[in-house]
Structure 1
Amino acid sequence: MTERTSPAATAEPGVARLLPWPGEDGGPAYLTPCGGDGRLAALADEVERAQLASGAEVACCARPLIVEPEVTVRELRWTALRLLECLLDALRVAESRGARLTGEAVGRG
């Protein structure tokens, strides 16, 4: 299987791809460089597109709610949680794509 829980688990040269979903242990999941053009990579691409589209939709819907003077605290809290989820998805996509562009390992400081 090409999915890994750590980029250090692969001996192949190159950069492990950070996948847009968590691994079995809840931590980051990676795709080894040799698995970069297969079905799992295509699925990851589709999930990333859906995550970014969802973020754009949530941001669009949140804008009028945030400026509404009669919005409740509960509505604002729910909106903030959705925006946070979208932001975290977008940051993961950016980290994964940035690492692939620069050739740097993901998740290592």
Structure 2
Amino acid sequence: MRGGIESSRLLPWTGAEGKPCYLLTDGTGYLARMADTIESVQLGMAADLLGHAADMLADDRATSAQLRYLLAGMHEALTDVLRIAESRGARLLAHSDPP
């Protein structure tokens, strides 16, 4: 965050029982950087999974078990990407609000 202003950030992981985790941060601390790194990894994994999905869908020999496994991975990846989008959207709104 800019100017040392702290705001809450939805983190790219969940806590106990799948509950969301938040960090009060100015965006410069260790946990904020760790969250940035994890988001980057999650987005990369989602992109890789999309490529794998395209290959499997084009393969007429893909079994239902393989497609179910793919769908489970895509569910997890989409959950991560949605959490990242929600977190980044909230941070954008926080920066657009007048002081």
Measured against the shorter chain, the TM-score band is 0.7 to 0.9
Indicate conservation of the 8 Å contact 1:17/1:96, yes or no: yes
Q: Does 1:26 align with 2:10?
A: no
Structure 1: 4+ residue segments shifted above 2 A = none
Identity of aligned residues (%): 41
Q: Answer yes or no: is 1:42 the counterpart of 2:33.
A: yes
Aligned residues: 91
Tell whether 2:78 aligns with 1:83: no
Structure 1 residues without counterparts, runs of 5 or longer = 1-12, 105-109
* Further displaced range: 89-98 or 65-74: 65-74
Deviation at 1:19, TM superposition (A): 0.2
CA distance in 1, matches of 2:70, 2:18: 24
Q: TM-score, normalised by structure 1?
A: 0.76
| Bigger helix share | 2
Residue 59 (structure 2) aligned to one of 41, 58, 68? 68
Report the residue type matching 1:28 in the other structure: P
Deviations 1:35-67 (A, max 9, x none): x31000000000000000000011111111012
How many Å separate the matches in 2 of 1:25 and 1:19?
15
1: CA distance, partners of 2:51 / 2:28: 33
